[in-house]
Amino acid sequence: MATLFLSKPSSLLPFLILFLSLSPSLSKKSTFIVHMSHSHKPNAFASTHDWYSSILRSLSTTPEETQHDILYTYSKSAAGFAAHISPALAAKLRRHPSVLSVIPDQIVKPVITQSTSFMGLSDWSGIWPNTDWASDIVIGVVDSGIWPESTSFHDGGLSEVPASWRGICEAGPDFPAISCNKKLIGARSFYKGYEAIYGTLTEIKSARDLSGHGTHCASTAAGSAVANAGYYRYAVGKARGVATKARIAAYKVLWARGSGASLADILAAMDQAIEDGVHVLSMSIALNQTVDYYIDTTTIGAFRAMQNGVVVVAGAGNAGPDSFSVRNIAPWMLSVGASTIDREFPADVILGNGQVFRGSSLFNFKQTTTNTMMLVTGESSGSRFCRQGELHGSRVFGKMVLCESGGTSGVAKSYAVQQAGGLGMILINQATDGEQLMAFPFIIPASTVTYTAGNLIKNYMSSTANPTARIMFRGTVTGPSPSAPRVAAFSSRGPNLITPEILKPDVIAPGVNILAAWTGALGPSGLSFDTRRVSYNIISGTSMACPHVSGLAALLRKAYPSWSPAAIKSAIMTTAYNLDNSGNNITDLATGMEATVYARGSGHIDPNKALNPGLVYDLDTSDYIAFLCSIGYDYRKIALYVQDASMIDCRAKNFSSPGELNYPSFSAVFESTNDVVRYTRVVKNVGSSVNAVYQVSINAPPSLRINVNPTRLVFNANRKTLSYTITFASTSGIIIPAVGAIASGSIEWSDGSHRVRSPIAAYWKPGSTRGNFAASM
């Protein structure tokens, strides 16, 4: 049976990272992903499929075992196949000498324009005109498919499809081949793994998006410019993707209206995307729990994509503000957290005593304010969480209801209030949401308020015989107040649970209340009772932050076609900023305090600065192999990743710690206050001046001593690449609490025109070991 895990209460986000953990019985067939050693393949077999089939037949000794189905064969994203077989046959496969790994399939679920303006993108200067808006770069979006009729996918002004493109527009009953054009140049669907788990799909098997998630992500990354786009009267303006002229290839893996995807299908989509010729992979999906790298097959597919020059960008997850909740943590993936932009949709709650509380709403108002109504709580009316069918109509009829988050979505609560005869609603956020106010497309006049405001409203109600309230809708408000960006409370946080020496997330990007294209098959709330249909929708999540960075990666790929994925990632990370638009350090909506390095990573992306980073920290396959060696992986595990097994030699490049990887950020983990952590980094001058001199500046917290040697890097025509050593040690007299301690700082290299910044995270864990790192936090 499959067990469903909610990573956040469903009232938080219209789309959350939800997951299924599969526990197949010994008698029931399940899907397994089998990684093979291709050096063992006998020449007698014409194809790998024939070889795999032969192995399955040779191991099948019972009638049940002979009933096996190969769903996919992988050659680009991995080496092996996915098959629907019995657990007993899977156990035999694990013992076969040609088999490196057998991993049970799992179900993965999803994790949006003022945002381009907020990021400083301009038609007249900077990265857009200097890269021709990423023309001819292809972004592969692995998601819930696409709504091809959206105006965001028009191809006006685009040149012909790039000659290097090898993909197709896969036709279906509801997706004719003419659905593709010079913008949407490829569309495919992958469902065999999903069907093997749940049975035959009831929806049409095509790349058409029935949930909206994939359409939203694709248009955010590379949507064409559309004038006067908006959600009803909210956020009206020119909508466009970050890489406006990039091409889109949609790979549908999320089924049941975007509710889940099989790992086997995801790996097959990545395999095909690499073969088709994408330059960037945008993946707003993640596993529920953090698992070791070799178990998460998407990290294997991402590694193979990196080897083929593809930049893989993924959402960091929506499980914040908990520590150790960050997902997609492999160092060859670019992990993106979510932050706000300088646009809000205020809906103020005004109480009968004159108190005003800031709220947020996307209710399609006809007037700026509601009438004043009697105010009752959901708790006193039958349901604290305002669940449908539990509210007493006699209590709520004609009134405004105060509902608490949890159990169902905010929109579902507004529908429940409406069905019970209520005329308005105030939704109280959870305490962990802090100051976060996301806007929801409520069915009736309603507003979301903070947990603190909710308690004050309760106090008013308990002290007043006949409490009343009204809501004033203020539409779309942009500007410097409140400050932006701020880290979203839902955005997943570090430290990195598997390799804490690698700081994650890497960066933050716009992911709160983002406008982008939507499906025509589902209402803006994504709920079955919602009969509204919109062309553009406003939603939130790291799913929305991810395609912003995917678009930026496409712009940089266009500017620097010879750069490695690591160099592009470095440019994005080292040019990120950490001050908001008021000049103060970026804050965290969950706490109201300064955001930690585990929440913001390197900081908020700055596309124009990324175009000219000055220095880059580069990496190749051999570096990542050394990283895998440093975490104790043996030949069999490393062979899952590399295309050429002859490259595997843990003696060739020996890292004393995973932190030795030439990463653009630093994470020092201390076993005790006497520890000294030392890393070496190599930087390459990619600036316009061959003769450049960079001086380092150090921002060290009081608890940490940081030494950099040398402090000056002098580049010339013969010295384009230089190294430096950085050493971390505790300051004298530091006292570590029983739960450990964290600190953050940074170093910055500058030649007067470039500022190459690397964040530093430090963690002390007295008496603990790597195995109980999380427990000591």
Which bin fits 568, alpha (ψ -120 to 50), beta or left (φ > 0)?
Answer: alpha
Nearest Cα residue to 277 out of 310, 300, 253 = 310
List helix spans (H) across 308-432. Answer: 393-396, 410-419
Active-site residue flag, 143: yes
Question: Residue 574: what are its φ and ψ, rounded to 5°?
Answer: -75, -10
Burial class (CB in 10 A: 0-12, 13-18, 19+), 633: buried
Mention every residue, 6+ apart, whose C-beta is less than 8 A from residue 648: 625, 635, 638, 639, 642
Burial class (CB in 10 A: 0-12, 13-18, 19+), 771: exposed
CB 251 within 8 A of CB 140: yes
CB 274 within 8 A of CB 76: yes
Nearest Cα residue to 200 out of 191, 209, 208 = 191
The token pair at 205 is 């098997």
- Distance, in Å, from the CA atom of 332 to the CA atom of 336, rounded to the nearest integer, reads 13
Rounded alpha-carbon distances, angstroms, from residue 187 to 56, 281, 315, 372: 32, 14, 22, 51
Active-site residue flag, 213: yes
Q: Which of 35, 68, 213, 548 is catalytic?
A: 213
- Distance, in Å, from the CA atom of 87 to the CA atom of 766, rounded to the nearest integer, reads 42
The token pair at 270 is 């990545």
Rounded alpha-carbon distances, angstroms, from residue 117 to 479, 509, 551, 606, 682: 12, 13, 14, 11, 34
Neighbours of 632 (CB within 10 A): 10
The token pair at 686 is 């990619």
Q: Which of 543, 602, 746, 758 is catalytic?
A: 543
CB 339 within 8 A of CB 511: yes
Cα angle value 336/334/664 (rounded, 5°): 105
- Distance, in Å, from the CA atom of 35 to the CA atom of 102, rounded to the nearest integer, reads 6
The token pair at 83 is 């098959």
List helix spans (H) across 481-631. Answer: 542-559, 565-574, 597-600, 607-610, 621-630
Amino acid letter for position 752: G
Nearest Cα residue to 587 out of 304, 374, 340 = 340
Collapsing DSSP states into helix, strand and coil, what is residue 108?
Answer: strand
- Distance, in Å, from the CA atom of 534 to the CA atom of 152, rounded to the nearest integer, reads 13
CB 504 within 8 A of CB 335: yes
Active-site residue flag, 279: no
Secondary structure of 675-686 as H, E, C letters: CEEEEEEEEEEC
Q: Which of 7, 77, 105, 143 is catalytic?
A: 143
Bond from prior residue into 485 cis (ω within 30 degrees of 0)? yes
The token pair at 10 is 């469903």
Torsion of CA 570, 575, 576, 581, to 10 degrees: -170
Residues that are catalytic:
143, 213, 543
